[in-house]
Amino acid sequence: MRKKTFSLCLAISLLASLSLRAEDELPFFRGVSVSADVFGWIYPIFVSDAYYNNEVSLSANLLNRFFPVVETGYGHCNTVGELYGIRYTTAAPYFRVGLDYNLQYKNPSPAGFIFCGVRAGYSRSTYDVSAPPVTDPVSGLAVPFQLSAVPCRALWGEALVGIRTHVWRGFHLGWTIRYKRLFSNCTSQNGNPWFIPGYGVHGTETFGATYQLIWNF
């Protein structure tokens, strides 16, 4: 883990030093920003409370070009499938680290900028499943179906594009659309998780979105 962190810092420093050729007069560090994802708060109120993620993030502005980001949140899922009446529940924290890249760094605008970025996400959770009884094909008797605290450690990557717009003083609004790909699957003897906190509904690939309130310091 230390090696990975060191490699990430080295890569950021290298990219930043390359960009310094034309921007020697500008400061390397240009502040930090804190943001909260309102999509995760609005979604369960107005759309569905079956599953959602609440998250906040911290990012640094380097040369107005590179934005190393740390994101953390809490994912919830408590839903019943319509077809089979299966109840699935889980709730756990998750973490992401990554980097955003300002696509308009050469032409800065006070209105905001478009950016792309990458993330590495991790969550460690357990999930419960309860389903209507299943019929034993040998005895013909009904057998209860219950899974409790099935462990899941998930690692995934994200590629994203987004927009950040200036609203007032240090306050900005922004959104991101994220393509997510699961690297480590949580498949166990008892099956796959249906929802992974921070990632979303289980599958090799999925999508996500954030709508953020951002404060620059």
Partner 1 sequence: MSSLTSPSLRPLKSFRLAAVLTAVMLLAACGGDDCVINNTVTANMAFYLSDGNPCQINDTLTVSVVRVQGDSVVLNRKLGATGLSFPLGYASACDTFVFRFARMGVSDTVFIRHDNHPYFISLDCGTAMFHTLTAADCTHRLMQSVVITHPEINYDAQENIQLVFGN
Of 72 and 104, the one with the shorter C-beta distance to partner 1 is 104
x-or-dash pattern for partner 1, window 32-71, by CB under 8 A?
Answer: ----------------------------------------
What lies within 8 Å, CB to CB, of 13 at 6+ separation is none
What lies within 8 Å, CB to CB, of 71 at 6+ separation is 55, 56, 57, 95, 96, 97, 98, 119
- Name the segment binding partner 1 (CB under 8 A); options: 11-19, 28-36, 91-99, 101-109: 101-109
Does 136 bind partner 1 (CB under 8 A)? Our answer is yes
Does 179 bind partner 1 (CB under 8 A)? Our answer is yes
Does 22 bind partner 1 (CB under 8 A)? Our answer is no
Of 67 and 194, the one with the shorter C-beta distance to partner 1 is 194
- 122, 94 in Cβ contact below 8 A? yes
Of 41 and 157, the one with the shorter C-beta distance to partner 1 is 157
Whole-number Å distance between alpha carbons of 217 and 213: 13
Of 5 and 109, the one with the shorter C-beta distance to partner 1 is 109
What lies within 8 Å, CB to CB, of 89 at 6+ separation is 77, 78, 79, 127, 128
3-class state of residue 150 by DSSP: strand
Look-up of token digits 């990975």? 4
Min dist CB 103 to partner 1, Å, is 4
Binding site for partner 1 (CB under 8 A): 79, 81, 83-84, 86, 88, 103-104, 106-107, 109, 113-114, 116, 129, 131, 134, 136-141, 143, 145-147, 150, 159, 161, 163, 177-179, 189-192, 194, 202-207
